Amino acid sequence: MTNIFIDGGRTLLGHELVETSLQIYGGSIAAIGHDHAHGLGVDAGGLLVLPGIVDLHGDAFERQLMPRPGVDFPVDVALIDSDRQAIANGITTVFHGTTWSWEPGLRGAENARLLLQAIETLRPQLAADTRFHLRQETYNLDAETEILQWLADGRIDLLAFNDHMDLTGIFKPAKRARMVERSGLSSEAFGLLVERVLSRADAVPASIARLAQAAKAAKVPTLSHDDMTPDMRSDFRTLGVAIAEFPINEETAVAAADAGDFIVFGAPNVVRGGSHTGWTRASDMIAKGLCSILASDYYYPAQLLAAFRLVADGILPLPQAWALISANPAAAAGLTDRGVIAEGRRADLVLIDDSVALRPRIVAVVANGRLVHLTDAGRLLQAGPARALAAE
């Protein structure tokens, strides 16, 4: 593995930006402020040097799988393209949010299995540390046995409990129409499927409890999605589900914060100035201390843009804004080796030109000690012994 020297740059150390240099050996940050440079050098003068972004929930890869309804592309092609997009937006650890629903089609059983297999197969050649976030639709009872086995085998990195069944009814016709379209079923066939799934509703709570217990035994962090009330959040917390993902109202977010839960909102919500569903405004929650993590959700550039939007709007200073997309999601996922810049930590770094307000430009990305993205070759230099050798 090539040693890398990051020469200068305003580097985020703890809660401060410090002008310093970094030496990287073997995938880790070996020294901070070290004058004796070795290996490939990157001139970070005038740039921010920040920890790589950790994305707990991103399903934008679905757009590569099915760019248009009914138009499929191979899973490996979709994941490789998604990896390039994630890295180009500073995401060095990505949890692909793969929904396994009772629906057929894009979010059906076959796609979930294919995605898991593809992630495991492709992982060594992907630039971002790519992990599997299984979003289990709680009414998908037929999947329980297989998911229990996946947990036991260590194949799942995050497990979320989703319930979109209430969104299939006549009161949400637009949502239902989208679900019908991606399922490949006729409207009549989809309606019959919903009726069959709902007929087993009494078995859902016990299934959730068994899966939560299995995840706890496997040391897999768990999330509850779209918690609607404090009682719902409390019920999941009792099961050991410590991450509240997209609570839909402030009351529920307050209850989660008071209990010390991690709280996830979507970064697109911050960038756009509100939720596309009309629910909680993430910037308001952040200002009130009711959000600890921002996820890319459905748009990979959103985390980077959201952090700088929070700074520009005076909601948070950059170190605290950046923690929402680096240190905090790393902590929630149990990844103690990343999310901050410190000696001995994993060398996941993003070098950013912040000279244009609200439009941060990523110049370079280092992932696990490898230079995996560079937009300005003029910033490359040879350092230490390598520079001396080149001069001979």
- Per-residue pLDDT reduced to its tens digit, 232-264: 999 999 999 999 999 999 999 999 999 999 999
At residue 168, the pLDDT reads: 57
Supply the CATH number for residue 354's domain.
2.30.40.10
pLDDT digit string, tens, across residues 97-153: 999 999 888 888 998 999 999 999 999 999 999 999 999 999 999 999 999 999 999
pLDDT > 90 fraction of the chain, expressed in percent and rounded: 80
Same domain? 385 vs 276: no
Count of the separate structural domains present in the chain: 2
Could you tell me if 360 and 328 lie in one domain? no
Does 73 reside within a domain?
A: yes
5 three-class SS: strand
- CA-to-CA dists, residue 69 to 125, 131, 150, 327, angstroms: 29, 26, 29, 36
Mean pLDDT across the stretch 18-30? 96
Given 281, 306, 332, which residue is the final one in a domain?
A: 332
Mean pLDDT in residue range 58-70: 87
In a domain, residue 173? The reply is: yes
Q: 120 with 17, same domain? A: no
Residue 46 lies in domain: 4-50+342-391
Q: Give yes or no: residues 258 and 375 share one domain.
A: no
CA distance 330 to 328: 5
Verify that 321 and 267 share a domain, yes or no: yes
Measured distance CA(150)–CA(143) in Å, rounded: 11
Are 23 and 60 members of one domain?
no
DSSP secondary structure letters along 30-67: EEES-SS--EEEEE-TTSEEEEPEEEEEE-THHHHH-S
Compute the distance between CA of residue 327 and CA of residue 336 in angstroms, rounded to an integer: 9
Is the CB of residue 304 less than 8 Å from the CB of residue 274?
Answer: no
Say if residue 387's pLDDT is above 50.
Answer: no
The reply to whether 337 falls in a domain is: no
pLDDT for 389: 30
Residues 122 and 267 reside in one and the same domain: yes
Reported pTM: 0.92
E strands in 170-254: 222-225, 243-245
- Alpha carbon distance 343, 133 (integer Å): 29
Residues 118, 262 within the same domain: yes
Residue 84 structure tokens: 């390039």
Two tokens, residue 92: 């060095």
- Would you state the pLDDT for residue 391? 34
Q: Which of these three, 281, 303, 332, is where a domain ends?
A: 332
Q: Is residue 2 scored above 60 in pLDDT?
A: yes
